[in-house]
Amino acid sequence: MEKETKREKFVRLAEARTNKIIDMIQLLGNCSNQATYEYTSQDVDKIFSAIESELREAKKKFAKPELIKSTKFTLD
């Protein structure tokens, strides 16, 4: 059995996890049925604010780190 490469592992996990997230978002959308559920616009704002915040944090983890500037002191 061949060992899975880092790329193959990333693709496998990223696809599975992304599809889970999409499924959960679609399930959350089912809560919008006002014949079944009662909610306020503040509830909706809180839900999507929390999701958007976590999404921003996750996206930051994929960002390339900026070049580290030297902060060492010199007289030159």
Integer Rg of the chain from CA: 21
Name the stretches of the chain with pLDDT < 50. Answer: none
Inter-residue contact 28 to 47 (CB < 8 Å): yes
- State residue 74's pLDDT score: 76
Which residues, at least 6 apart from 12, have a Cβ–Cβ distance to it below 8 Å?
4
Inter-residue contact 48 to 56 (CB < 8 Å): no
pTM value is 0.77
- State residue 1's pLDDT score: 82
